[in-house]
Amino acid sequence: MTNPGNAIQIRNLQEKGLRIAWQYKKYLGESQLDGQRDSKHEYSNEFDLRKPLERHFINGPRIDCVSIQDCPDLSTLRDRCATFLSQFPRNDGSISCAGRIAIQSFCAPQCAYSNMEWDMLSFIRYLKSMVRSSNSVAIITFPPLLSPSFCKRWQHMADTLLSVKAIQGFLPMKTRNWHNSSPVTRIWLAF
């Protein structure tokens, strides 16, 4: 024979579980409807690093993707960054909008100023000071071809430094031969 008190407790627990499941289902249904109403691009945590990101996902009024091929020298690059970052002055109040600037393969061999290490360090110091005086973030990627001492200087200047290593077997043959091993790209982020 079952104790009537235990039966009531079991029924209350089952009702509570059903109530939680109903609320969860209600929440999921509402969030899916909200997602269908807005036609905005949502962020995704599923990335395929073998493919380049489509440019229309990263272009916008608050994002500037700088190509080293567009800037023949560091003064042109500095002027372009200064012009973009001046749009996002740091106010004492809240952050209304933030800018993002990305420079890919900053001192790659195809870069005209790749052998001017001290000039590149000076540019990075300048960019970092501009970023700190504005509501913006800068991301610079660079290949592993730099001298060890130069890499150490960059590491000390960076707010955040990440190393990304390619997965073996997923690189085109020409990329593997160029790097002689699996390539590593270091990414510097300044806040």
Q: Is residue 64 domain-resident?
A: yes
| 63 and 101 co-located in one domain | yes
Mean pLDDT computed over 5-27: 62
Whether residues 62 and 2 share a domain: the answer is no
Spatial contact of 141 and 103, defined as CB atoms under 8 Å apart: yes
* Residue 140 counted as domain residue: yes
- Picking from 125, 118, 116, 117, the residue whose alpha carbon sits closest to that of residue 159 is 125
- The residue type of 104 is Q
Asked whether the predicted pLDDT for residue 186 surpasses 60, the reply is no
In a domain? residue 45:
no
36 & 61 share domain: no
- Sole residue written with tokens 């043959």: 173
- Scanning the structure block, which residue is given the tokens 């036609």? 39
Query: Can you give the CATH number for the domain in which 80 is found?
Result: 3.40.50
Give the predicted TM-score (pTM) of the model: 0.56
Average pLDDT, the chain: 68
Instruction: Say which residues have a Cβ less than 8 Å from residue 133's Cβ, sequence separation at least 6.
Output: 89, 90
CB-CB contact of 144 with 185 (8 Å): yes
Query: Does the pLDDT value for residue 86 go beyond 70?
Result: yes
* CA–CA distance, 109 with 63 (Å, rounded to integer): 25
Q: Are residues 36 and 122 in the same domain?
A: no
3-state class of 56 per DSSP?
helix
Any domain includes 174:
yes
Domain that holds residue 123: 55-190
**38-71 residue pLDDT tens:** 544 444 444 455 556 556 555 557 888 887 777 8
Q: Report CA Rg, the chain.
A: 25
Number of Cβ within a 10 Å radius of residue 134: 20
Residue 112: strand, helix, or coil: coil
Residues 111 and 163 in one domain: yes
pLDDT in tens, 148-170: 787 778 777 777 766 666 556 55
Closest by CA position to 120, among listed 68, 162, 186: 68
pLDDT on residue 79:
92
User: What secondary structure, in 3-state letters, does 56-86 show?
Assistant: HHHCECCEEEECCCCCCCHHHHHHHHHHHHC
Domain count within the chain:
2
Q: pLDDT higher for 127 or 5?
A: 127
For residues 89 and 135, the answer to whether their CB atoms sit within 8 Å is yes
User: Distance between CA atoms of 116 and 49, rounded to whole angstroms?
Assistant: 30
Is residue 167 in some structural domain?
Answer: yes
